Amino acid sequence: MGNPFGDIFGGLFGSRSVNAVVGVDIGGSFIKAVQLRKKGTKAALDTYGEIALGPLAGLEVGQATNLPPEKIAEAILALFKEAKITSRDIVFSLPLTSTLLLVIEMPDVGEEKLKEMIPFEARKYIPTSVEEVSLNWWIVPQLERTYVDPDEEERKKGAGPKVDVLIAAVHNDVLSRYQEIAQKIGASSAQRRSAGILRSRSSLIWVPQTRK
């Protein structure tokens, strides 16, 4: 079986005209950025760097800050200049403290039907109004098994096929802050998706929506 996540870099680079993409991680103490360049079917490290936010708030290096979007944007542009980051096709890392990630089991009824069902199902798990968050979801790839789980087989008797769905919810206020930062630094995304496409243990990746 092929790697179910093998198209990750294809999703990042999106259009063939995009040769480099930048990842930005905005923390309380530092901003980190990395630029990857497309080389054939692979992504190669181009450049990277970080900048401390403490001095921008009159604090020591390493101290946590709560800077407004305009100051964050200034810091990112300064980092880009120092690290010689030139691409404005940018993805942002959203900390899990600002997001909700969960996996739920849903009937295998196809993506179009799931698109209608998931917002209603998500209400059971989101501790705020669904209208106050932005939702995205992905069907979790099923891996081939080399064994039989008798307990699971028993549970499935009489039930239709199921799929696991990963749901990501981000509060609209958080996204608005990142959208403002993206606008101030001139982010221009040619990506195919307007929301997160990658997950990790510590963050959700968000791609700014392309303006039309």
Q: What top-level class would CATH report for the domain 8-96+172-206? A: alpha beta
Q: Given this model, what pLDDT does residue 190 score? A: 36
* Residue spans per domain, the chain: 8-96+172-206, 97-170
Contacts of 24 (CB under 8 A, 6+ apart): 31, 32, 33, 76, 90, 91, 92, 93
b/e code 128-158 from CB counts within 10 Å (16+ = b): eeeeebbebbeeeeeeeeeeeeeeeeeeeee
> What's the pLDDT tens digit per position in 62-90?
999 999 999 999 999 999 999 999 998 89
Q: Given this model, what pLDDT does residue 212 score? A: 41
Q: Given this model, what pLDDT does residue 37 score? A: 92
Mapped onto helix, strand or coil, the DSSP state of residue 21 is strand
- What residue spans of the chain are helical by DSSP H? 8-13, 69-83, 111-122, 150-156, 172-184
| From the candidate CATH numbers 3.40.140.10, 3.10.580.10, 3.40.50.920, 3.30.1490.300, the one assigned to the domain spanning 97-170 | 3.30.1490.300
> What's the pLDDT tens digit per position in 100-155?
888 999 999 998 999 999 999 989 998 888 889 888 888 988 776 556 665 565 55
Which DSSP string corresponds to 85-132? -----EEEEEEGGGEEEEEEEEE---HHHHHHHHHHHHTTT-SS-GGG
Q: How far is CA 52 from the centre of its chain?
A: 23
Q: Please give the model's pTM, rounded to 2 decimal places.
A: 0.73
Q: Is the pLDDT of residue 9 over 90?
A: no
Q: Given this model, what pLDDT does residue 8 score? A: 45
Residue closest to 83 by CA, chosen among 112, 51, 41, 55: 51
- The amino acid at 188: S
For residues 173 and 179, give the distance between their C-alpha atoms in angstroms, rounded to a whole number. 10
Is residue 176 within 8 Å of residue 142, measured between CB atoms?
A: no
